[in-house]
């Protein structure tokens, strides 16, 4: 044995003494099989505790990620439990599919996929409402509130009804159309319907028809008529109507008139419809004051 091997042997002995001083013999030291095989040649004497607790893998090959540990230490059993009282759990081989776990309720056993027939049900038809005799109540209500009308059947709803002049049934606002275009007539009709639903009864009259018969005086004398909506260019194009026009006061036949652009302008520029409606609403609100 040369001096280098002697010095190395002494180094191992010192290392072993250091380990034994700092670690108890019953403690385990983790190492890999390759390192253990290398240093086992230099053990003197060999450590029995380490050999007993080190398991040499025979057919197991360590994974490529890192070296495998060389021992397995199991936890001790509780001291207060006898060995016969421990129940062994049967081992299930890996890769074997487990059977569905049944759910027991009383005498029935359900699987994970319940039978759809267990949850099917049918609804009973609705019963006919019972009719009550309300004759006595109607009689008492008639005595207490004689001004109220009691009806036996609820009338059917037919939608909003136009507000009309209750005195004559004639419109309170007239929209004059100066064109035979169906699109322009339809546009003014929709505006008139909106006025009827919001404020008062309104209608669309054809200026050509009245101008041809010169019936402007008859129109202005209609009972309940309060306001006229027309385009100034249309008024200027009708000689008979122009005689009733007072431009500074914005009156037509003695009635206030709202001058608007030709309906064709609102059809070509829909963004102007909002300002038109705002002007109509402001004029009608001021008219009611």
pLDDT of residue 26: 61
- How big is the CA angle at 106 (ends 104 and 108), to the nearest 5 degrees? 60
Which domains are present in the chain?
A: 3-53 (no CATH), 173-288 (3.40.50)
pLDDT of residue 19: 78
* Higher-confidence position of 30 and 168: 30
- CB-count burial class (<10 Å; 0-12, 13-18, 19+) for 1: exposed
- CB-count burial class (<10 Å; 0-12, 13-18, 19+) for 130: exposed
**pLDDT of 126 higher than 70:** yes
Query: By the 8 A CB rule, do 229 and 260 touch?
Result: yes
Looking up tokens 């421990």 gives 86
**pLDDT of 279 higher than 50:** yes
* Higher-confidence position of 18 and 278: 278
Rounded to a whole number of angstroms, the distance between the first and last alpha carbons of the chain is: 129
Mean predicted lDDT score pLDDT of the chain: 76
**pLDDT of 153 higher than 80:** no
* Higher-confidence position of 20 and 227: 227
pLDDT of residue 99: 52
* Higher-confidence position of 107 and 120: 120
HEC string of 52-112 equals HHCCCCCCCCCCCCCCCCCCCCCCCCCCCCCHHHCCCCCCCCCCCCCCCCCEEECCEEECC
Query: By the 8 A CB rule, do 74 and 53 touch?
Result: no
pLDDT in tens, 240-278: 999 999 988 899 999 999 999 999 999 999 999 999 999
pLDDT in tens, 164-199: 444 456 899 999 999 989 999 999 999 999 999 988
Least confident of 3-17, 141-155, 210-224, 269-283: 141-155
Least confident of 115-119, 123-127, 139-143: 115-119
pLDDT of residue 157: 61
pLDDT of residue 20: 75
pLDDT in tens, 75-119: 555 555 444 444 455 554 554 455 555 555 555 554 556 666 666
Closest CA to 112 of 122, 123, 101: 101
Three-state DSSP at 189 gives helix
**pLDDT of 70 higher than 60:** no
């Amino acid at each position: 044995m040369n001096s280098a091997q002697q010095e190395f042997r002494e180094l191992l002995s010192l290392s072993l003494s250091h380990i034994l001083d700092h670690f108890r013999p019953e403690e385990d030291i983790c190492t890999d099989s390759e390192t253990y095989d290398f240093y086992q040649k230099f053990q003197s004497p060999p450590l029995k505790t380490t050999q007993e607790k080190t398991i040499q893998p025979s057919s197991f090959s360590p994974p490529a990620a890192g070296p495998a540990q060389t021992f397995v230490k199991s936890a001790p059993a509780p001291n207060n439990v006898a060995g016969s009282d421990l129940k062994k759990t049967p081992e299930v081989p890996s890769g074997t599919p487990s059977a569905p776990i049944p759910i027991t309720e009383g005498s029935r056993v359900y699987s994970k996929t319940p039978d759809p027939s267990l949850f099917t049900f049918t609804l009973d038809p609705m019963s006919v409402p019972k009719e009550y005799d309300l004759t006595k109540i109607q009689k008492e209500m008639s005595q207490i509130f004689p001004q109220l009308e009691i009806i036996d059947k609820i009338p059917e709803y037919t939608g909003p009804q136009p507000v009309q002049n209750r005195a004559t049934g004639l419109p309170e606002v007239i929209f004059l159309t100066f064109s035979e275009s169906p699109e322009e007539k339809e546009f003014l009709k929709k505006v008139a319907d909106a006025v009827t639903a919001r404020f008062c009864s309104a209608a669309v009259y054809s200026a050509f028809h009245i101008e041809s018969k010169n019936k402007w005086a008859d129109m202005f004398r209609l009972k309940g008529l309060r306001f006229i909506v027309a385009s100034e260019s249309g008024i200027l194009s009708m000689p008979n109507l122009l005689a009733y026009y007072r431009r500074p006061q914005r009156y037509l036949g003695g009635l206030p008139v709202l001058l608007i652009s030709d309906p064709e302008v609102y059809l070509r520029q829909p963004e102007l419809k909002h300002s038109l409606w705002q002007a109509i609403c402001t004029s009608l609100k001021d008219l009611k004051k």
